[in-house]
Amino acid sequence: MGSNRLASATSPYLRQHADNPVHWQEWRAAAFAEARERNVPILLSIGYAACHWCHVMAHESFEDDTVAAVLNERFVSIKVDREERPDIDAVYMVATTATTGSGGWPMTCFLTPEADPFFCGTYLPREQLLRLLAAIDEAWRTREAEVRASGTHIASSLAAATTAPGAAPVDEPVLATAVAQLATSFDDRDAGFGTAPKFPPSMVLEFLLRHHARTGTPMALEMAERTLEAMARGGIYDQLGGGFARYAVDAGWVVPHFEKMLYDNALLLRVYLHWWKATGSPLALRVVEETAEFLLTDLRTEEGGFAASLDADTQGQEGLTYAWTPGQIVEVLGRADGDLAADLLGVTASGTFERGTSTLRLIADPAAPQWFSTVRARLKQARDGRPQPARDDKVVTSWNGLAIAALADAGAVAGRPEWVAAARACADLVLGRHLVDGRLRRSSLARTVGEAAGVADDYGNLAEGLLALHQATGEVRWFEAAGDLLERALSRFAAGDGGFHDTASDAERLYLRPRSGADNAEPSGQSALAGALVTYGALAGSSVHLEAGRRAVAAAGSLAGRDPRFAGWTLAVAEALTSGPLEVAVVGSDDVAAQMNRLVRACTSPGLVLAAGAPDSPGVPLLAGRPLVDGGSAAYVCRGFVCDAPITDVAALARALAAGRPR
């Protein structure tokens, strides 16, 4: 029965292990049937393609014949890509953190043939792993009933303990308190929140910008601006190619962990766009332009989707592609320009990274922008000649939804139709390939769609992206597709308290049904659906959808009140609910309508939605019954479904949008 069975996987991470001597299998019924037939325990290894320590453990252990011999004889070995199967990752992460006090990847769990976890850990060096394998094998052969009982107890205890916290409204006092709580963990020296390592707090920053737009609170804008600037000038941002790394290992944003994830860059693109809208910051606009181009240049697949990530390592070495010495910069630019560029980019003789190399930072804006533009292009061209990190070409539904939203939003606001076109092509691909028999699949690779079912954030983030694309283009098909996805989510993911489970009611049964209201690296499924429901409700004029979004926000209300750092998107959606809905319909196609549309898109109100097109456009509720005025374009401004008289003058529309704004 033994052989490695990963060669045909739709996950590049699994394919990375297809040549291991370990007889890896995917998470399938056949693997568990084999474990039961042989009566052996299961090694479950969970990771992802861009994970540095996953690569280390693979090289040390899973490519080792001695380790493989023990695993193949005494265990059934299963590999899981956490990005392809976030449901499996979630439930075994619960077990890992509960039994060890911490979690991370690679995740290493030992299971009974019935999939109950009885031992969990993360990265294990080769010798430690071999000792553990011997101990577990001995325990299974001599005390099998005891080991099985332990697994059953752990699984049942975790299932019983995993209950949703009580619902609590996220109202104006809670939102104000969240800002005050965030201020207590704000790093006043280096910006961001907490200490090293520092992750980009995308959704918290979105909340702070929305809170400032609604209330004018200076502290909210200051925390957001200082963090956004620190990241944009730091080594976490690719000063040559655009785009952000996953996190900084230090408090000052100097040294990144070099993998670049699609979800980070999609979320950050949108946040920097909203910073630019709020303040007109040239730095914000530059980051928007460069990050959008990074998505289109480095992550876009041949089919028009967006790849999951770029690897942390190049040829097994972190930073090989990205780090520089002063001598390397001089070699490319010559002595005079090289010395100036090294000083500007923080490249020192002693180095800020490893082996005397430095990451690139933009310490201050260059005195000669045109000169720096030329220098940047020359350094980028030289860097392109170096070995490059591998790319995980897997197209994840949820993360592509985030990319659609960011590119559609940014393209419409910044006047970049090519970004909107890229969002449209991506939406066509995901809906055409990932929507199978009316249900979303989680991911695809090239032209092959994976078997894993979509989870809640796939539905929520894709719906959010489609609604942004609808507002950018006026095309009704995106609005209708988003509505269909949300109806399916309401019927299949809803929990009894107004929140949402991560998996559908008819999904594969694991030892517990995962559910999390916490926003970590990306929106939780619950908050993603909440945001999309609120946007759809405003566009559709549907109090039913707005109330469903409000209940989903409240389901995470106790977390938002207790620890706002892990409820950023929930808080951002709550700001939209508190501020809006502010619904604007612009009818007409002349120059006045174009000016009105630009004005509305520049508005920072958290609860604003826009419908633009011809009067009574079929399928667009906000345009129904909204005629031209005396044959000319008009704007209709509604707050909470109560509408003002039609407006035909751009200046008057500006005054209407400003009404109620903080001064």
Model confidence over 260-274: pLDDT tens digits? 999 999 999 999 999
Task: Report the C-alpha gap between 500 and 571 in whole angstroms.
Answer: 17
Task: Report the C-alpha gap between 246 and 238 in whole angstroms.
Answer: 11
DSSP-assigned letter for residue 384:
H
Model confidence over 41-67: pLDDT tens digits? 999 999 999 888 899 999 999 999 999
Per-residue pLDDT, averaged over 95-113, amounts to: 94
- Report pLDDT for 163: 72
Q: At residue 509, what is the residue type?
A: R
- Report pLDDT for 293: 98
- Report pLDDT for 660: 67
- Report pLDDT for 50: 87
- Report pLDDT for 653: 96
Q: Are 604 and 220 in contact (CB under 8 A)?
A: no
Indicate if the pLDDT at residue 142 is higher than 90: yes
- Report pLDDT for 654: 95
Q: Is the dihedral of CA 104, 110, 113, 114 positive or negative?
A: negative
- Report pLDDT for 580: 84
Per-residue pLDDT, averaged over 84-88, amounts to: 96
Q: How confident is the model at residue 437 (pLDDT cuts 50, 70, 90)?
A: very high
- Report pLDDT for 640: 85
Q: How confident is the model at residue 617 (pLDDT cuts 50, 70, 90)?
A: confident
- Report pLDDT for 52: 86
Per-residue pLDDT, averaged over 326-352, amounts to: 97
Please state the φ and ψ torsions of residue 613, each to the nearest 5 degrees. Answer: 165, -160
Question: Which residue's entry shows tokens 């011809």?
Answer: 614
Model confidence over 149-196: pLDDT tens digits? 999 999 999 887 777 777 899 999 999 999 999 999 999 999 999 999
Task: Report the C-alpha gap between 34 and 38 in whole angstroms.
Answer: 6
Per-residue pLDDT, averaged over 332-353, amounts to: 97
Indicate if the pLDDT at residue 644 is higher than 70: yes
For the chain, domains (ranges, CATH) are 12-161 (3.40.30.10), 322-386 (no CATH), 582-658 (3.40.30)
Model confidence over 447-462: pLDDT tens digits? 999 999 999 999 999 9
Tokens of 286: 């530059």
- Report pLDDT for 165: 73
Per-residue pLDDT, averaged over 31-40, amounts to: 97
Indicate if the pLDDT at residue 663 is higher than 70: no
Query: Which residues are paired to 611 by β-bridges?
Result: 585
3-state secondary structure 573-592: HHHHHHHCCEEEEEECCCHH
Mean pLDDT of the chain: 95
Q: Are 400 and 465 in contact (CB under 8 A)?
A: yes
Task: Report the C-alpha gap between 351 and 357 in whole angstroms.
Answer: 5
* 387: exposed, middle or buried (Cβ count in 10 Å: 0-12, 13-18, 19+): exposed
Q: Are 613 and 594 in contact (CB under 8 A)?
A: no
Tokens of 33: 């049937």
Q: From 589, 438, 450, 457, select the one nearest 521 (Cα to Cα).
A: 457
- Report pLDDT for 659: 81
Model confidence over 491-540: pLDDT tens digits? 999 998 999 999 999 999 999 999 998 999 999 999 999 999 999 999 99
Per-residue pLDDT, averaged over 606-627, amounts to: 92
The bridge status of strand 439-440 relative to strand 435-436 is: antiparallel
Model confidence over 467-489: pLDDT tens digits? 999 999 999 999 999 999 999 99
Share of the chain above pLDDT 70, in %: 100
- As a whole number of Å, the CA-based R_g of the chain is 26
Q: How confident is the model at residue 1 (pLDDT cuts 50, 70, 90)?
A: low
